[in-house]
Amino acid sequence: MAALARARVPFDRTRTADAMPRQLNLLEAIQPAAAEHPAASAAEEAERGQVREMPLRATARLAERRFTAWRGRSGRRYVASVFAVQDGHALGFSDAVLLAVSPERRIVAARDSGPFGIDAALTRWRDAVAMAGACEIHVHLLAEDGAGRRSALLDLMPEA
């Protein structure tokens, strides 16, 4: 902040507003120029309201995908751990959002694991989504509370 204060042009009462050099607005400085973000195409606009997987760039080169991200209908991003549908570790998390994912990279079903992770109910759910075509279970652990998990579920849940 001290550097910004020193960089300002001193106020001169004899200058008119037109002759004064324009000071940099901090909000303008941190926002990218309009040319850097061209207008979205019609296809991008249509895609905004859809749930889609957005793989993490940092893990793209790894042979085994352990993490991925989903973009909800709202545009919000949800990072998730990736497990095979029969991997029992996926059901061992409490207070998580569970996403059943098909080989076509679509969410087949979604649910909250609950605060206790009831094994019998989760196992029945896993078996049902496996029969429905799911090959992976993605586990989102970053929702802070029940309201956050419900919000994530509504944003990511497949439309009926």
Give the model confidence (pLDDT) of 94-105 as tens digits: 899 999 999 999
pLDDT digits (tens, 9 = 90+) for 69-92: 999 999 999 999 999 999 988 998
Structure tokens at 48: 């905004």
Q: What is the pTM of this model?
A: 0.66
User: Could you tell me if 120 and 77 are in contact, meaning their C-beta atoms sit under 8 angstroms apart?
Assistant: no
What distance in Å separates the CA atoms of residue 5 and residue 32, rounded to the nearest whole number?
A: 23
